[in-house]
Amino acid sequence: MEEHRDDIGSRMGMWIFIFTELLLFGGLFLVYAIYRNKYSADFHTAAHELNAFLGALNTVILLVSSATAAMSITAIQKGNKKLALWLVGITIFMAFLFLVNKYFEWGHKIHLGIYPGSELLLKMEQGELLFFGLYYFMTGLHVFHIIVGMIILTVVMVKINSESINSHNFVLLENGALYWHLVDLIWIFLFPLLYLIT
Amino acid sequence: MENHKQQQDHITPYSTMLKVLVGLLFLTFVTITVTGLHLGAFTVAVALIIACVKGGIVITWFMHLKNETPIFRYMVFGVLLLYTLIIVITFFDYAFR
């Protein structure tokens, strides 16, 4: 039986989806840029509240996870199923570590009374309110992408295990990895903008 | 049977991915160091330029744009052009209203 497959088309579809995601976050970056311009002093004060160390740690975690995701494709191309499973597994574990850090980071903020709609936040300057609003929304939307990425990569792992993803047909792994690199790509811009530039 | 083969034969070695990772970690270190110096507007520029370089590295190697057919590169270029135009037009509107 002849098999009908278009791997280039599959990857192109994934890239087009990634473009829409980039423009979604791109719009948010634009909102951030305008408000930062308008309330630079407030943004300066508010950004000091963020924990740059946790931000940096999460950057390292995501970069390593992106590398393991990329290497899993090399492993499957070479027919090394076991290594591919390990590499995707490490990627998912790294994603979990990212979430743990985010839990402590947000938990600490909420403990201090800084969360959307809190009394403390409403008493702050307009610019600080906007900064924390953008911080929670952008990192929150990013965390949502992390969770979706973990689900996608888990499905990919199951399919590698059942060998429906193999050295002759691995476009699903490629697309899963592409999604994961998108999550990394967004964080590469979020980290300096929110945590470093004060 | 050509149809049964994956339509991308290029295999990127593990070592390349590890080198890319080391480069990205190094650039992260540079960003943190430079922003810690408090150089004003210069800090923002450097942080954004390094972020763009890191993004470019991720797209080129991790996302295998290097080994894709040229149409993928044109598409990425088109989207970046579109986003640049959106930024420029928005800031013109904001600056001269």
Provide the residue range defining the domain that includes B97.
69-97
Going from the C-alpha of B43 to that of each of A28, A116, B38, the distances in angstroms are 21, 29, 7
Nearest-10 crossing angle of helices A171-191, A7-38: 10
Place of tokens 């947000």: A106
The CATH number assigned to the domain with range A7-196 reads: 1.20.120.80
Residue B42: the pLDDT is 85
The nearest alpha carbon in chain A to B42 belongs to A197
In a 3-state reduction of DSSP, which class is residue A169? Answer: strand
Closest CA to A196 of B22, B24, B59, B51: B51
Same domain, B57 and B20: yes
B55 to chain A nearest CA, in Å? 6
Same domain, B27 and B53: yes
Residues 80..109 of A with a Cβ closer than 8 Å to B: which? none
Tell me: pLDDT of B3 over 90: no
Task: Compute the average pLDDT of residues A49-76.
Answer: 96
Residue type (1 letter), A165 = I
Structure tokens at B80: 């970046």
Cα dihedral value A24, A25, A26, A32, nearest 10: 130
Tell me: pLDDT of A189 over 80: yes
Same domain, B83 and B46: no
Same domain, B51 and B33: yes
Residues 28..57 of B with a Cβ closer than 8 Å to A: which? 28, 31-32, 35, 43-44, 47-48, 50-51, 54-55
Report the C-alpha gap between A144 and A102 in whole angstroms. Answer: 12
Beta bridge partners, A166, equal A169
In a 3-state reduction of DSSP, which class is residue B97? Answer: coil
Task: Compute the average pLDDT of residues A73-98.
Answer: 98
Residues B42-86: tens digit of each pLDDT: 888 999 999 999 999 999 999 999 999 999 999 999 999 999 999
Residue type (1 letter), B31 = T
Same domain, B54 and B77: no
Report the C-alpha gap between B50 and A189 in whole angstroms. Answer: 9
Task: Compute the average pLDDT of residues A61-87.
Answer: 98
Residue B7: the pLDDT is 62
**Confidence band for A73, pLDDT divided at 50, 70 and 90:** very high
Same domain, B44 and B16: yes
Chain A residues within an 8 Å CB radius of B27:
none
Closest CA to A70 of B40, B47, B65, B32: B65
The nearest alpha carbon in chain A to B20 belongs to A67
**Confidence band for A119, pLDDT divided at 50, 70 and 90:** very high
Same domain, B79 and B57: no
**Nearest by CB: B43 against A71, A189, A197:** A197
Report the C-alpha gap between A70 and A74 in whole angstroms. Answer: 7
- Express as a percent the part of chain B with pLDDT over 70: 91
**Confidence band for A4, pLDDT divided at 50, 70 and 90:** confident
Q: Output the DSSP codes for B4-54.
A: GS-S------HHHHHHHHHHHHHHHHHHHHHHTT--THHHHHHHHHHHHHH
CB count in 10 Å sphere of residue A60:
15
User: How far is residue A178 CA from its own chain's centroid?
Assistant: 12
CB B90 within 8 A of CB B79: no
Tally of structural domains, chain B: 2
In this prediction the ipTM stands at 0.94
The domain locations on chain A are 7-196
The nearest alpha carbon in chain A to B52 belongs to A189
Structure tokens at B57: 């590295």
Same domain, B58 and B79: no
Task: Compute the average pLDDT of residues A1-25.
Answer: 92
